[in-house]
Structure 1
Amino acid sequence: MSNQSSPGVPGADLYGVLGVPPESDLKTIRIAYRRLARDNHPDRGGSAEDFHRIQAAWEVLRSAESRAAYDRTRRDGGTGTGESTDDVDAVRYGPSGTWAAPSGRSRGSSERGAQRTASGAAHLPPEYRPALSDPRPLSLSLTSQRVHGEFRSHGLFGRSRVQRRHERTIEVLQRHVLDELPAARLFNDVHLDAPTVDRRGRRRSSGGERAEHVVVCGDRLTVVFALEVPTPAASWDGQVLRAAGRSLALPDVGAQARRLRETLTQRLLDERGHEVVLTVDHQVMLHSPDGSLLSPVVEASRGGASAPSAAGRAARAIVGQLGTSPRANVVDRHLLGVLRDQLASPDET
């Protein structure tokens, strides 16, 4: 490769990193990515920096939304706002729980032009701290991994209703948050308190309350709780969600967010010597039985931005919470390591 296209050149154009022209289609970009990732993998003698620069370029260019935002930033010389459009109403869950777009309309086309706001930094290539030349505090493969943690299955006869809700939430977050924010990572089933250490120095689960989903991007996190609402409309008075004539129980997600922030901040300082100011928000995501991303409609008399909202609107709110940070392209490996340490069920690595 030339210097411009070499993955080892800091700040190289993302198309140059993968060695493809800017007008390339997704198939061409994917082929180039796979070849370079294979040839530059550290297990084959490549450097961690080159491998991650290739990975970062692919994470931006693989998604139509993040690629369009990057192209605007690229044309504007790095001053783009990162605003993007997305027609979440055009996307529904198919019969098997997978995503499907209605015929005649494609995902990404928008009649209303609804905008999600993210800073210019959100669509820049991820910046890893500490540098990838340092094998600590997280391995190469785990640093690259975008979804962490699994939910234990308790059902004996197939997927339970709760499992399906978790799967739907993860898919919404992947497609509408992680694909929009290349540096974002998702953690599932996270203990709010630090693990304990026994006499032999082994870490033990702290038990107690857990957050269903935590999305982290830079120095910002959003704690997400999801619920399925059986009707197309609901009401919220700031404390209680009502639908179909009954009250639906919600945890205090705001209190979860505050508790997690305190735990992570203290652990990063005590265990890693890593002082950081974290901003932790929260969001309640509502799923519709028919798979619509804009249903149910919630009439909120109180609650403002913290009111529960349909899956598509909740995803846009999370992008706004995370993507407006000037550090939205930073992957804090210390923070990822601490979060993995608090997973109730770490995934296989």
Structure 2
Amino acid sequence: MPPHVPSHYEVLGVPVTASEADLKRAYRRAARLHHPDHGGDVIEFRRVTLAYEVLSDPKRRTEYDRSYFTSAPQQESARGAGAGTPPSSGAGRTTPGGSFRARAASREAGRRNPSGEPAVYVPPFAPGTTPLVPAEVAARAEHGIPRRRGLFGADARIQRELRTAALIRRQVLTSIPAARLFNGLRSPASSVHIAHAVLAGYRLALVDSMLVPAGNYAWDGAHLLHGGRVVAPPRLAEQVRHFQNLFPELNVQGFVLVQTPQENLHEPVIDVRRGTEGLIEPRNAAKFLRELTFFLASGPQPNVVFVPAFARLLTGLH
């Protein structure tokens, strides 16, 4: 793992929900501590100054948050990886759109599934420290509103996303206590919105959905085919690549849920043509829930809420 690069919030020692007054107090405290005239370190003082310059300007702070803390990064990093750094071996990593395969577990025989255990926060909320996210916020399982801007078809999109969020809430969040659902993220690379993201341990699932008439469909690797109808799924693979670059400590996977008006978990029936490869495979609700849950639950430490990633996703909500 590369050395941990602290965010502006970490440098000032404030949560991502900090007010303007909180930022000013934190800056004054940190500036006194690190000022070279008082025996402080020049590099640390520069970090503090840069952090305050960005976060005290509402426009620059918004841009910084929407870029998931990558704009104007703290270049110098004298700190090593912090507590809670995930395993760097890459175990369990899958490629976007790839198949899911059960991997040999290093657990003792008979041990219960860690994904069903109570959530553990990394780093932990310790007395006397200021976390990136308040404990009461991190404890909430769902964040954001299932809504995307747009003039045409907005009502249909909102209803589709409400259904998707409800499905994840009922079927996934209840089985994985550490899973956290984010509705309505901004893409770091464009004006595109990501409908949903689910974080559990060191795995992140990006989710989008589509609504089609009930029936039998074929997936050819790029389109859903139904009689003479050709339907292209949401272009999620590009966003998966962007988020994987932004969150190298996580395993990022994309999922496309195909819904029908009847809300039958097993509709539509989607036949995948032999040898099909390409974009992320669209799945009906039954298969979507099964593979999303497997992906999140089979990762390393699925009962962990990784607070640094949680904080970055929280600031990326629209």
Query: What TM-score do the two structures reach when normalised by structure 2?
Result: 0.60
Q: In the alignment, does 2:129 pair up with 1:139? A: no
Check whether the contact 1:230–1:244 (CA below 8 A) recurs between aligned residues: no
Structure 1 pair 236–210 and aligned structure 2 pair: CA distance change class (3 A) = same
Q: Between the two proteins, what is the percent identity of the paired residues? A: 28
TM superposition shift of 1:153: 7.1
The alignment status of 1:242 with 2:225, answered yes or no, reads: yes
Specify the alignment match of 2:268 in structure 1.
296
Structure 1 residue aligned with 2:196 = 213
CA-to-aligned-CA distance 1:208-255 (integer Å, 9 cap, x gap): 222111111011011111111112211110111123521112232222
The separation in 1 between residues aligned to 2:146 and 2:206, in whole angstroms, is 16
- 2:184, 2:194 within 8 Å by CA — same for their partners in 1? yes
Partner in structure 2 of residue 330 of structure 1: 304
8 Å Cα contact 2:146-2:165 kept in structure 1: no
* Gap regions ≥5 residues in structure 2: 1-106
- The counterpart of 1:282, out of the listed 239, 254, 258, is 254
> CA contact under 8 A between 1:192 and 1:263: conserved in structure 2?
no
> What is the CA–CA distance in structure 2 between the aligned matches of 1:303 and 1:145, rounded to whole Å?
37
1:319 is the counterpart of 2:293: yes
Q: Which moved more, 1:251-260 or 1:323-332?
A: 251-260
Describe how 1:55-74 pairs up with structure 2 within 5 A.
none
For the pair 1:341 / 2:312, whether they are aligned, the reply is no
SS at match of 1:231: coil
Q: Distance in 1 between matches of 2:156 and 2:258?
A: 14
Query: Cα gap change, 1:150/1:244 in structure 2, threshold over 3 Å: closer, same or farther?
Result: farther
Counterpart in the other structure of 2:101: none
Runs of 4 or more above 6 Å deviation? 153-156
1:261 aligns with 2:256: no
Question: What is aligned with 2:173?
Answer: 178
Amino acid aligned to 2:131: R
Encode CA deviations 1:53-91: one digit per residue, 9 max, x unaligned. xxxxxxxxxxxxxxxxxxxxxxxx985476xxxxxxxxx
Give the number of equivalent residue pairs: 207
1:5 matched to which residue of 2?
Answer: none
Equivalent position amino acid for 1:239 in 2:
A
> Equivalent residue of 2:266, what SS?
coil
Query: Are 2:234 and 1:251 aligned?
Result: yes
Separation (CA, whole Å) in 2 of partners of 1:321 and 1:305: 18
- With over 3 angstroms needed to count, the CA separation of the structure-2 counterparts of 1:243 and 1:207, relative to structure 1, is same
Q: Could you tell me whether the CA contact under 8 Å between 2:147 and 2:195 is conserved in 1?
A: no
CA change 1:218–1:229 in 2 (3 A) is: same
SS of structure 1 residue aligned to 2:205? strand
Q: Supply the AA of the counterpart residue of 1:180.
A: S
TM-aligned CA distance change 1:153 to 1:254, over 3 Å:
closer
Q: Does the CA contact (< 8 Å) of 1:297 and 1:310 recur in 2? A: yes
Q: CA deviation at 1:207?
A: 5.4
Paired residue type of 1:315? L
Report the 3-state secondary structure (helix = DSSP H, G, I; strand = E; otherwise coil) of the residue aligned with 2:159.
helix
Larger relative CO (CA 8 A, sep 6+): 1 or 2? 2
Query: Structure 1's 319 and 305: CA in aligned 2 closer, same or farther, altered over 3 A?
Result: farther
Are 1:225 and 2:220 counterparts?
no
| Matches of 2:224 and 2:178, distance apart in 1 | 33
**Cα deviations by residue, 1:158-217 (Å, 9 ceiling, x for unpaired):** x82211101110011111111111100111111221xxxxxxxxxxxx752221111110
TM-score (normalised: structure 1): 0.55
Q: Which of 144-153 and 227-236 deviates more?
A: 144-153
